[in-house]
Copies of this chain bind each other. A is one copy, B any other.
Amino acid sequence: MADRLVKFEQYRHRMNSRIDDIDHLGIKRFFNLDTKAYERGALSPKTKELLGLVASMVLRCNDCIDYHILQCVDAGWTDEELYEAFNVALVVGGSIVIPHLRHAVESLDLYRSR
């Protein structure tokens, strides 16, 4: 398997660039707001990324999970800490989250093995 994380990042960058070309002020501002939501404020970016990851898992969005897994690893969360966050998401969201837990664990392993 070619690393699906690489393909996801390429697709994500290509389409975000295409969306930027659309030049819709509301959409541009939403993307900007989204970026800023994870920047340092009363909470650290590290904490915010973990919030984003758990939110993505309970809402069951694999692309969002992948994005936040990468951010969480880069922010310095250890595997053991991420497993704890996965567990919170699993208990809150139930067994319907399990396929996304599989995806998250696989993404984490793929990113760590780079």
How many residues from A make CB contacts under 8 Å with B? Answer: 60
Q: Which residues of B contact A78 (CB under 8 A)?
A: 42
Determine if A64 and B102 form an interchain contact, defined as CB atoms under 8 angstroms apart. no
Determine if A88 and B51 form an interchain contact, defined as CB atoms under 8 angstroms apart. yes
Q: Is the interface of A mostly helix, strand, loop or mixed?
A: helix
Q: Which residues of B contact A99 (CB under 8 A)?
A: 61, 63-64
Q: Which of B34, B41, B109 contacts A95 (CB 8 A)?
A: B34
Over the window 41-68 of chain A, the binary record of Cβ atoms lying under 8 Å from chain B Cβ atoms (1 yes, 0 no) is: 1110001101110111011110110000
Measured CB to CB, the residues of A under 8 A from B are 11-12, 15-16, 18-19, 22, 24, 26-27, 29-31, 33-34, 36-38, 41-43, 47-48, 50-52, 54-56, 58-61, 63-64, 78, 80-81, 83-99, 101-102, 105-106, 109
